[in-house]
Amino acid sequence: CRVRHYHFNVMMKNTTRLCSTKPIVVVNGKFPGPTLYAGEDDTVLVRVTNHVHYNITIHWHGVKQIRTGWSDGPAYVTQCPIQPGQNYVYNFTLTGQRGTLWWHAHILWLRSTVHGAIVILPKRGVPYPFPTPDKEVIVILAEWWKSDTEAVINQAMQSGLAPNVSDSHLINGHPGLLSNCSSKGGFTLNVHSGKTYMLRVINAALNEDLFFKVAGHDFTVVEVDATYTKPFSTDTLLITPGQTTNVLLTADKSSGKYLITISPFVDAPVAFDNVTGTATLQYSGTLATAATTLVKPPPQNSSQLANNYITWLRSLNSNKYPAKVPLKLDHSLMFTVGLGVNPCAACSNGRRVVADINNFTFVMPTFAMLQAHYFNVSGVFTDDFPGNPPMTFNYSGNTPSNLQTNNGTKAYRMAYNSSVQVVIQDTAFLAPESHPVHLHGFNFFQVGRGLGDFDSKNDPKKFNLVDPVERNTIAVPAGGWIAIRFIANNPGVWFLHCHFEVHTSWGLKMAFVVDNGEGPNESILPPPHDLPSC
Ligand code: C2O
């Protein structure tokens, strides 16, 4: 293994999309940002220098950060932010990890433009467990607002209402053909007939689950969230914010141009950006004037398609890559996730929409929880986060008359190496909504999933404990539930939150504290000397 050095300069850049120009925060002048390449087991050092007027942190989404929580990135959870003019070196090792992950800002809504791919290649001489592609291509999906995204969320937090939806979807930084202003600016995937391409698809959008299609071509899904899957073929990908998916695409036509689309999957009565983002797959030798073969994006409420797609996802579970699903449980938790309405004196409405886990709306501390944990600083958070909902709800049925939640900065504490199950149920109180839940510090197995209310007697009998998909981000279906399992073998403070940025802003977040173990390699490493202070 090697040590890889990167320098991320966080800076402003005037950028034009949809016929209008605005300054955005980017890394090294690029949008999307630079790709971080590394090999399995490599150590990565990224010096981040903050040249903008915002505080910044960077999260390496999906990197487990074994014992190096100081480098995980969520602001006020594992570190105080890097202030304007300051530097911080993120230092972590990619122990046993390979595949596609990504990095993004983890403060405010800056991740809308501060994001990029992480590509971790397998160890030298170790092939992929599928035919080696001729070429690999990164495909980053995102959303674009014409106005400043910080203004969008600030205005929403002041009014107490939902923020404006984005004005367009982007593929590798461009909205593509269907937007009036960018007919020339779309991303082109150049291919040669007969060759196979591996697309490393990343959903960096803020608030939307996305369908991804290429006219006339199928995908073979081989990896999600940097874990290998049983290969299956599909003409549509579904990918929630935070997730990554590697697919093989064979250029089996002789020539031509084929439309690539991204469009939202929304099975709830909420506002969303319905502009289809496009790009073009173009065979070499195709005339510039050739017509593009079109494809229709799936209807936005294609729940059946979404449900099928999710059930096809299984761990590869081969001899070389076994699925090590925890079978005995030390902690069996249930979290309800959903929306509520709280009084808000400062809001123009007098009330505001909030989001919660087990009826707690998370209040961000002003000092980093990991530092408080490590140095035994009291008063930053408490470890009494409830492991179960406060009462037995009919989650998908009646909406209670009182939608008020409790506020708190609470964590759930576990011993090192505990094995944990969490059933996460959408309450659907205000509206049924999908929640792409992301766990820092671990991968988990999705052992169960269903619509309606979780049935604690019968549903566990149907859990898949053999080859469930392993990932770091999973969508709780609108008005439904999922069950995940993981081993808490990483000491530190680990954030769990909805990867819809609007729900995170509203408080759908909590943290796990995993105590140090007794063994020599079972405790958090000491903090680096350049750790930012608050
Ligand atoms: Cu990709 Cu806590 O985030």
277-291 per-position pLDDT tens digit? 999 999 999 998 999
DSSP helix/strand/coil, 445: strand
Structure tokens at 4: 């890889």
Structure tokens at 194: 């007969």
pLDDT at 398 over 80: no
Q: Which CATH architecture fits 130-314?
A: Sandwich (2.60)
* E strands present in 237-350: 237-239, 244-250, 257-265, 277-283, 292-293, 331-343
Atom of ligand 1 nearest to the CA of 61: 1
Question: Could you give the CA distance from residue 388 to residue 7 in angstroms, rounded to a whole number?
Answer: 43
> Class of the 1-127 domain?
mainly beta
Ligand 1 pocket check for 102: Cβ under 6 Å: no
Structure tokens at 340: 């509520």
How are beta strands 277-283 and 188-191 bridged, if at all?
A: parallel
Atom of ligand 1 nearest to the CA of 241: 1
Could you identify the residue written with the tokens 């009014």?
A: 159
Predicted pLDDT at 428? 81
**Choice among 391-400, 426-435, 458-467 with the minimum mean pLDDT:** 391-400
Find, among 534, 525, 376, the residue nearest to 71 by Cα. 525
pLDDT confidence bin for 349, thresholds 50/70/90: confident
Atom of ligand 1 nearest to the CA of 440: 2
ipTM score over 0.85, yes or no: yes
Structure tokens at 503: 């729900």
CA of 496 to the centre of ligand 1 (A): 8
CA of 61 to the centre of ligand 1 (A): 6
Ligand 1 pocket check for 111: Cβ under 6 Å: no
The model scores a pTM over 0.80: yes
Atom of ligand 1 nearest to the CA of 62: 1
Q: Provide the percentage of residues in the chain whose pLDDT is more than 90.
A: 91
Ligand 1 pocket check for 74: Cβ under 6 Å: yes
Show the CA angle centred on residue 29, arms to residues 23 and 33, nearest 5°.
100
CA of 400 to the centre of ligand 1 (A): 31
pLDDT at 226 over 90: yes
Predicted pLDDT at 445? 98
Predicted pLDDT at 482? 98
* E strands present in 294-379: 331-343, 351-357, 360-362
Do 283 and 191 touch, CB atoms closer than 8 A? Answer: yes
Domain 331-514 in CATH: superfamily? Cupredoxins -  blue copper proteins (2.60.40.420)
pLDDT at 180 over 80: no
Ligand 1 pocket check for 495: Cβ under 6 Å: yes
CB atoms within 10 A of CB 135: 14
Question: Could you give the CA distance from residue 271 to residue 164 in angstroms, rounded to a whole number?
Answer: 8
**What mean pLDDT value characterizes the chain?**
95
Structure tokens at 260: 């690539």
Backbone angles phi, psi at 385, to 5 degrees: -60, 130
Question: Could you give the CA distance from residue 393 to residue 400 in angstroms, rounded to a whole number?
Answer: 9
pLDDT at 437 over 80: yes
Summarize the confidence of residues 411-435 as an average pLDDT. 93
Its sign, for the CA torsion 59, 60, 63, 65, is negative
Atom of ligand 1 nearest to the CA of 73: 2
CA of 300 to the centre of ligand 1 (A): 25
Predicted pLDDT at 116? 99
Do 168 and 176 touch, CB atoms closer than 8 A? Answer: no
Given this chain, do its domains 1-127 and 331-514 carry the same CATH topology?
yes
pLDDT confidence bin for 394, thresholds 50/70/90: low
pLDDT at 248 over 60: yes
Ligand 1 pocket check for 503: Cβ under 6 Å: no
How are beta strands 492-498 and 480-488 bridged, if at all?
A: unpaired
User: Helices (DSSP H) in 302-457: which residue ranges?
Assistant: 303-312, 369-374
CA of 499 to the centre of ligand 1 (A): 6
pLDDT at 393 over 70: no
Find, among 269, 455, 424, the residue nearest to 338 by Cα. 424
Predicted pLDDT at 269? 81
Summarize the confidence of residues 455-474 as an average pLDDT. 97
Domain ranges of the chain: 1-127, 130-314, 331-514
pLDDT confidence bin for 396, thresholds 50/70/90: low
Predicted pLDDT at 270? 84
Ligand 1 pocket check for 438: Cβ under 6 Å: yes
Structure tokens at 315: 């761990």
Does an H or E element contain 503, and which? helix 501-505
Predicted pLDDT at 39? 97
Predicted pLDDT at 60? 99
Burial of 398 (0-12, 13-18, 19+ CB in 10 A): exposed
CA of 59 to the centre of ligand 1 (A): 7
pLDDT confidence bin for 395, thresholds 50/70/90: low
Summarize the confidence of residues 46-55 as an average pLDDT. 98
Ligand 1 pocket check for 106: Cβ under 6 Å: yes
Cis peptide before 32, with omega less than 30 degrees from 0?
A: yes
Predicted pLDDT at 490? 98
Per residue in 183-206, pLDDT tens?
Answer: 566 999 999 999 999 999 999 999
Question: Could you give the CA distance from residue 464 to residue 310 in angstroms, rounded to a whole number?
Answer: 13
Predicted pLDDT at 184? 61
Predicted pLDDT at 182? 59
Residue type, 323: A
Atom of ligand 1 nearest to the CA of 102: 1
DSSP helix/strand/coil, 266: coil
Per residue in 143-173, pLDDT tens?
Answer: 999 999 999 999 999 999 999 999 999 999 9
Q: Provide the percentage of residues in the chain whose pLDDT is more than 70.
A: 97
Find, among 6, 46, 9, the residue nearest to 27 by Cα. 9
Do 302 and 308 touch, CB atoms closer than 8 A? Answer: no
Predicted pLDDT at 336? 95
Per-residue burial over 3-41, b = 16 or more CB atoms within 10 Å of its CB, e = otherwise: eeebebebbeeeeebbeeebebbbbeeebbbbebebbbe
Per residue in 111-123, pLDDT tens?
Answer: 999 999 999 999 9
Does an H or E element contain 149, and which? helix 149-159
Do 335 and 422 touch, CB atoms closer than 8 A? Answer: yes
* Residue nearest atom 3 in ligand 1 by C-alpha distance: 61
